[in-house]
Amino acid sequence: MNINRRLLQYVKTMYIYVVVVGVLSLLTAACIILQAHFIATIINGAFLLKQFLPQLQTTFFILLIVLIARASLIWGGELVTNFVSITVKSDLRNRLFSHLFKLGPLYTRRERSGEIVNTVHDGVESLDAYFNQFFPQIAATVIIPVVILIVVFKIDLLSGIVLLVTWPILPIFMILIGLQANAMTRKRWRLLSQLSAHFLDVLQGLTTLKLFGRSAAQEETIRKISVRYGNVTMKVLRVAFLSSFVMEMGATLSTAIIAVEIGLRLLYNTIPFESAFFVLLLAPEFYLPLRSLGTQFHASMDSAASADRIFDILEIPAQVGHIDEGITLSQMAVHSSLAFKDVHYTYPAADEKQSNQEALKGISFKILPGQKVALVGRSGAGKTTITNLLLRFMDPTQGEITVDDHSILDFPAEEWRKMIAWQPQNPYVFNTTVAENIRLGRADATPDEIIEAARAAYIHDFILTLPQGYDTVIGERGARLSGGQVQRLSLARAFLKNAPIFILDEPTSTLDIESEQQVLRAIKKVTKGRILLVIAHSLNSIRDVDQIIVLQDGQVLASGSHQELLKRSPEYQHLVNTSEEKEVMA
């Protein structure tokens, strides 16, 4: 079973778990045999040997102990399996989150958020059926019948042969039916993930859907997916019920065969009553684990389907650069130059039918401490790719990015990002307080430092008008804030980080002219003596930077000051004219 191997590969505690479950199954088998033995002894003594209660009292007492021991083993097994299930789910969920963080936004942007959430939550939770039910039942099915079979062979050879011949028939039926059910369950899981992803998309875009009158159409789409999901679920249940019926019927018929052959031999007095009754008591217990396995098998198929998706994510390789132990960021945090040296980057194809997309084709430039540099170009020129490379969300396919002549791949990605304060074009704010959103820039910041960063971003006065000031919860994605307020809140976060390298992606795009001038002055003040890289779509905020780099089709087309580029770069002239036309229209 593939799921077994993959889970054993990722869960270190699994080996101890296997041993414990195996020992519990072995002890349970011993209790079953002892229970049948003492019941047969009591019945034989009371009805055939005409023994009275005082003579059977010791046997009754031992039987009671065996029954209590068996019940304790069941209770202990549930404790163990619940503990292991909780531990494994917690471990896998942590691994998933950790690996998703390593894969970074480039991976999550290609996937549907609802599907990932469904995998991390419902997918991991569905593993409970495997560890809590199916795996212990496998151990019981392997161990208990074998122990019973050995004992029956010693007591009665013919009954042992009947058990040995009939037992393999049931797993064959279970496997044949299970293969069909397994394919249906995987389809059902894919539909559930699709439904979760689509529903989240609809919720996030509800305003747009309402605006364009498309909410009713989406209701119909969700209804259709739900009906498909329900139909597939019913097919899975029908197969599961058929499997259970076959297993129950097979076990009942096999037990009946044992009863008939023992009854006939008792009739002809070829087997002692006590031995016959003992074997007859063991026969149902012999088939019970397999009957239960059939039920648990279908309960665990969701685990198998979700585990495939979980491990598919975990096995996606995360890009990890090599780490030079001799270099520390603290030695380079202030006086470093930043350089791109013949950097190429090719995005891998989304599927086999598409070709790889070369986004950067030999980019080279250098930024010195205290310099302010802007990257400009049309959409698709490579500006976002350069940002993602600098943030170590991906690594160059060729060439290198250096800081003070050391490749940034020489540092752990998390440590390298501590050197960068990033203001994205579309900042994300969390459903927590204003203070906590700003404190993301530096976890150990004091309230005074948070206020100072907010003042620098010209958002402090607005924050004071909120109901609880800095302790106001701003809602999901900053629902209580305007676009400009979210942007300034994100700027305050970047200012608070106070890193040696600032990357600002269109930092004033949603601000009015007065606010824009205030923020530009704040940026100039905060970034003094530091490297500032501005990703510009609108050009009115970059005219006084030290250097403007014009990108086109993943290459550096021209570089220089605003005035120099106006004289010698037709592409830059076109960008300026387009930007001015937009400002006039606005």
CB half-sphere exposure, 365, CA atoms < 13 A: 22
Is residue 74 within 8 Å of residue 35, measured between CB atoms? no
Residue 161 has what pLDDT?
A: 92
The encoded tokens of residue 375 equal 């990257």
Distance of alpha carbon 447 from alpha carbon 455, whole angstroms: 12
pLDDT for the residue 332: 47
CA distance 379 to 396: 20
Rounded CA separation 411/390 (Å): 12
What is the predicted pLDDT for the residue at 405?
79
Q: How far apart are CA 138 and CA 131, in angstroms?
A: 10
Q: What is the pLDDT of residue 8?
A: 58
Return the pLDDT at 236.
Answer: 73
Q: Which residue has the tokens 């010195």?
A: 368
For the chain of 586 residues, list the mean pLDDT of each consecutive stretch of 10.
55 72 92 94 89 89 94 91 84 84 72 73 79 83 92 92 85 68 71 72 67 70 79 76 76 89 90 92 90 71 74 74 50 65 82 70 88 86 88 87 85 83 83 88 89 88 88 79 83 87 78 70 79 77 81 88 85 76 48
Integer Cα distance of 194 and 226 in angstroms: 10
Identify the architecture of domain 2-314 in CATH: Up-down Bundle (1.20)
Q: What share of the chain is helix, strand, coil (3-state, %, to 5)?
A: 65, 10, 25
178, two tokens: 């299970």
Sheet containing 398-403, strands listed edge to edge, beginning at the edge strand earlier in sequence: 357-367, 338-347, 398-403, 406-407
Closest CA to 366 of 325, 400, 334: 400
Kindly state the tokens that stand for 564.
């120099």
Report the sign of the C-alpha dihedral through residues 447, 453, 456, 459, in that order. negative
Burial of 513 (0-12, 13-18, 19+ CB in 10 A): exposed
The domains of the chain are located at: 2-314, 426-500+511-529
- Residue 326's pLDDT is what? 47
Beta strands in 297-389 (DSSP E): 338-347, 357-367, 372-377
Is-contact 84 13, C-beta < 8 A? yes
CATH of domain 426-500+511-529: 3.40.50.300
Distance, CA of 251 to CA of 185 (rounded, Å): 26
Write the burial class of residue 132 (CB in 10 Å: 0-12 exposed, 13-18 middle, 19+ buried): buried
Q: Which residues contact 334 (CB under 8 A, 6 or more apart)?
A: 369, 500
The Cα–Cα gap between 74 and 202 comes to: 46
